[in-house]
Amino acid sequence: MKSATTRVLFALFGTLFTLTACNAQPAAKNGNEAAAATVNGTPIKQSLIDAFMQQRAAQGAPDTPEARKAVLEELISREVVRQAAVREGVDKRPDVQMQLDLARQNILLNAYVQDYIKKHPITEDMIKAEYDKIKAQIGDKQYHARHILVAEKKEAEAIIAQLAKGAKFEKLAEQKSKDASARNGGDLGWNVPAAYVKPFADALVALKKGEYTKTPVQTQFGWHVIKLEDVKDAPKLDEIRPQIIQRLQQQQIQQLAADLRAKAKIEYANPSEAKAETK
């Protein structure tokens, strides 16, 4: 139902862009750091335990002596298996080498992204400007709508006639609608008009709360009977500030990648790939 361009914009008010970045890790300690244990002469450093505990804490797990003991035992088990893998040459296999290379690339990329974000913080002016831009594009009202989608105008007219006789909109949606929302009684949730194609949006905003369209509405998807459940203001800036910051940070990283690519010398083995890239 949602058009391609507005779907991206409206994502701000629902599930938004998520940056691919890891949490900051504890600073590495010097080479004289005491080991919490050794496995066949290989040390298990305290800083590694600290890093594991930080990850656990981010998930709400408490930092207790018992938890640290459990983490140490887990690290010992991992080291035993790692050493066995090395003895058998698993680390030399091409497929394993590829996965190690990808893991190293991801770690470096995430660390670089985190450093870049710290050096280029999102300002309050940037947040307000982005909010105003999105609000201007998608409007300042949200509409809770239901609809019933059918293939023929006569079907829609028959449904409207049933509604006029007291039939329940939700029941008819479950029985008649060919849209995925049928399983929820035609419920489309809260959206701004710009999230829908124009004929649907125009019909929706013309309704009063509790009303349904008395004539079928045609779009490229078919024929709709639309009901307006409720209307409310779009989210205020403070309600979606974290999402706006995420959105702006993603835009920053996308621009950073584009700038770095522009400065890089990129040679394609297959010339057709280079042509596709420049389109």
DSSP secondary structure letters along the chain: -B-HHHHHHHGGGSS------PPPPPPPPPTTPPEEEEETTEEEEHHHHHHHHHHHHHTT----HHHHHHHHHHHHHHHHHHHHHHHTTGGGSHHHHHHHHHHHHHHHHHHHHHHHHHHSPPPHHHHHHHHHHHHHHH-SEEEEEEEEEESSHHHHHHHHHHHHTT--HHHHHHHH--SGGGGGTTEEEEE-GGGB-HHHHHHHHTSPTT-B-SS-EEETTEEEEEEEEEEEEPPPGGGSHHHHHHHHHHHHHHHHHHHHHHHS----SSHHHHHHHH-
**pLDDT of the residue at 28:** 44
Distances (CA, A) of 13 to 106, 186, 195: 29, 21, 11
- What pLDDT, on a 0 to 100 scale, did the predictor assign at position 275? 58
Distance CA 159, CA 150 (A): 10
Q: Residue 127's closest CA among 267, 12, 278?
A: 12
Residue 225 has pLDDT above 70, yes or no: yes
| Model pLDDT, residue 22 | 38
pLDDT tens string 192-204: 898 899 999 999 9
Residue 181 has pLDDT above 80, yes or no: yes
* Predicted local confidence at residue 176, as pLDDT: 97
CATH topology (fold) of 141-233: Chitinase A; domain 3 (3.10.50)
Question: Which strands sit side by side in the sheet containing 141-150, from one edge to the other?
Answer: 187-191, 141-150, 222-233, 217-219
Q: Does the pLDDT at position 5 exceed 50?
A: no
Q: What is residue 85's predicted lDDT score, i.e. its pLDDT?
A: 97
Taking CA atoms, 86 is separated from 80, 97, 176, 250, in Å, by 10, 12, 62, 39
Alpha-carbon distance of 16 to 190, in angstroms, equals: 15
**Does residue 109 contact residue 13 with C-beta atoms inside 8 Å?**
no
Nearest to 147 by CA among 87, 196, 92, 75: 196
pLDDT tops 50 at residue 108: yes
